């Protein structure tokens, strides 16, 4: 029996029978089985049956999307010498680092004796049988105008300069359309798109095309979608990672999107959108502490104290202003259901940890109490008590405009804070989690102090 026959037999066996079968193989035969993806993959990581043209894997982080894409590519190349495959990512660097050379990339998915030749200078991979894959950046849509392909793997399509579409450049959609027009080699050209779901135009378009197929996505020309969560791949992820993700993002909208693979809809009329926040997220360090303190001209801590002694939350947000006049959201240190002493100590610790030069705290509800509580916590920094003469949404509007102008960056993922920002509506209402946007309000006070001057703090007194 040849290797293929043995593999088919193995897949048909029960777990106990499979162990017996494996024990009868030589070391070389067992090692060879490592490279048979269909043996180890979960069903949702394997190509669906039928004559579909586009397969979209829309799932949470850690689901195994990259591995599924890499294995699909190498299987095509292995069995089709005429294959001409496009590898498209948000940038050339991401294609190389993730899709080609990454731990779950194409080179890692190929057995040592079947390794293709990667030619970085020519942006292509060549297999021994003649199959080829070429690297493209979705940020350069014109590079996809002209070349012909039989297959394509498009990774993280929700990151393809979708944020620029609101400005009319439409790079993501242009790259996709140019790719489609070049899919004219072979009897059944196919595209695999892998992404974490985000409500951007390209992802919405593909999901709409799936719905328009009326259940016929497996037919030629159809779109078929595979959905999944981070937890589907639990067996291959560290327990600590799962634990940390649940602690940081459990119960948040960002967690539902990034971990559970849910498509979040944008609230119409919200001052902040998910796209806007993603466009303002820093691509460098994911932790503000990794940024040198010398990079900032000022660092302040914005505080929105709870109304009562045992209020829901005390918003505590750290923001800095760099030498180029860009505001950086560095940390969300908010505390839940604190006593006055608890939140005051948290403010003091945060200010000391970040080397802040000022604390800005809302004092509409018991200004004297806020000042005395902070003094009792040995806060040695200047404390500016701000009295709001306008509602939360009105105060937030000029800060949202700073985001729109590209003058604010998030140095990390702040799930609960970002949920609240996306709940502030232009009509003057709040439609987010909790009864009040305490974290968002703290951010507004901090960025107003750093970037808006007197416009952000209409009435101020020092303590």
pLDDT in tens, 272-315: 988 888 889 887 555 666 677 678 999 999 999 887 655 678 99
Sheet holding 117-119, edge to edge: 117-119, 124-126, 132-137, 84-89, 151-155, 190-195, 54-59, 223-228
pLDDT above 70: percentage of residues in the chain: 84
Q: Strand 124-126 and strand 132-137: pairing?
A: antiparallel
pLDDT digit string (tens) for 203-229?
989 988 886 665 554 455 689 999 999
In angstroms, the CA 107 to CA 116 distance is: 7
Per the CB < 8 A criterion, the answer to whether 345 and 287 are in contact is: no
Q: What is the pLDDT of residue 457?
A: 39
Question: What is the model's pLDDT at position 308?
Answer: 66
Average pLDDT, the chain: 84
Record the tokens describing residue 447, joined without a space: 């960025």
Residue 29 pLDDT > 80, yes or no? no
Residue among 248, 234, 166, 162 at smallest CA distance from 197: 162
pTM over 0.95: no
Q: What is the mean pLDDT of residues 361-389?
A: 71
Tell me the pLDDT band of 126, cut-offs 50, 70 and 90.
Answer: very high
Enumerate the β-bridge partners of residue 119: 124
- Count how many Cα atoms sit within 13 Å of the Cα of residue 359 in the half-sphere of its side chain: 31
pLDDT tens-place string over residues 42-61: 889 999 988 899 999 999 99
Question: Would strands 132-137 and 84-89 be described as parallel, antiparallel, or unpaired?
Answer: parallel
Q: How far apart are CA 311 and CA 124, in angstroms?
A: 59
pLDDT score recorded for residue 413: 86
pLDDT in tens, 59-73: 999 999 999 999 999
Q: Is the pLDDT of residue 456 over 70?
A: no
Name the β-bridge partners of 307. Answer: none
CA atoms of 183 and 176, how far apart (whole Å): 11
Spell out the CATH class of 43-235: alpha beta
Q: How far from the centroid of its chain's Cα atoms is residue 199's Cα?
A: 12
What is the rounded average pLDDT of the residues 391-401? 86
CATH code for the structural domain at 274-462: 3.30.420.240
Q: What phi and psi, each to the nearest 5 degrees, are found at residue 135?
A: -90, 135
Which one has a higher pLDDT value, 11 or 321?
A: 321
Domain boundaries, the chain: 3-33, 43-235, 274-462
């Amino acid at each position: 029996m040849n290797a293929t026959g043995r593999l088919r037999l193995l897949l048909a066996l029960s777990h106990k029978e499979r162990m017996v079968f494996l024990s009868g193989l030589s070391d070389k035969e067992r090692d060879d089985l490592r490279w048979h993806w269909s043996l180890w993959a979960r069903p949702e990581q394997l190509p669906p049956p039928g004559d579909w043209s586009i397969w979209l894997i829309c799932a949470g982080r850690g689901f195994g999307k990259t591995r599924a894409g890499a294995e699909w590519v190498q299987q095509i190349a292995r069995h089709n010498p005429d294959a001409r495959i496009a590898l498209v990512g948000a940038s050339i660097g991401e294609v190389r680092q993730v899709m080609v050379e990454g731990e779950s990339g194409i080179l890692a998915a190929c057995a040592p004796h079947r390794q293709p030749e990667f030619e970085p200078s020519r942006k292509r991979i060549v297999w021994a049988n003649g199959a080829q894959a070429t690297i493209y950046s979705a940020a350069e849509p014109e590079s996809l105008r002209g070349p012909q392909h039989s297959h394509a793997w498009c990774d993280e399509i929700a990151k393809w300069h979708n944020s620029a579409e609101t400005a009319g450049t439409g790079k993501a959609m242009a790259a996709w359309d140019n790719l489609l027009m070049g899919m004219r080699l072979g009897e059944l050209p196919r595209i695999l798109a892998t992404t974490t779901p985000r409500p951007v135009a390209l992802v919405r378009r593909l999901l709409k095309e799936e719905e328009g197929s009326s259940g016929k996505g497996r037919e030629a020309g159809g779109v078929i979608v595979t959905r999944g969560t981070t937890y589907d791949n639990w067996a291959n992820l560290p327990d600590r990672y799962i634990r940390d993700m649940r602690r940081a993002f459990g119960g948040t909208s960002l967690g539902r999107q990034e971990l559970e693979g849910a498509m979040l809809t944008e609230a119409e009329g919200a001052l902040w959108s998910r796209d806007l926040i993603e466009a303002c997220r820093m691509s460098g360090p994911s932790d503000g502490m990794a940024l040198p303190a010398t990079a900032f001209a000022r660092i302040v801590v914005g505080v929105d104290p709870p109304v009562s002694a045992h209020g829901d939350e005390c918003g505590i947000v750290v923001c800095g202003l760099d030498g180029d006049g860009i505001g950086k959201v560095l940390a969300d240190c908010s505390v839940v259901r604190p006593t006055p002493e608890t939140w005051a100590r948290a403010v003091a610790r945060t200010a000391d940890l970040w080397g802040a030069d000022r604390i800005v705290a809302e004092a509409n509800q018991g200004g004297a109490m806020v000042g005395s509580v902070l003094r009792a916590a040995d806060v040695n920094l200047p404390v500016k008590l701000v009295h709001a003469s306008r509602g939360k949404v009105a105060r937030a509007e000029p800060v949202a405009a700073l985001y729109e102008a590209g003058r604010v960056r998030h140095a990390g993922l702040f799930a609960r804070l970002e949920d609240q920002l996306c709940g502030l509506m232009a009509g003057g209402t709040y439609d987010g989690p909790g009864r009040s946007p305490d974290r968002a309000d703290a951010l507004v006070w901090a960025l107003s102090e750093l970037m808006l001057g007197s416009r952000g703090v209409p009435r101020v007194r020092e303590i």
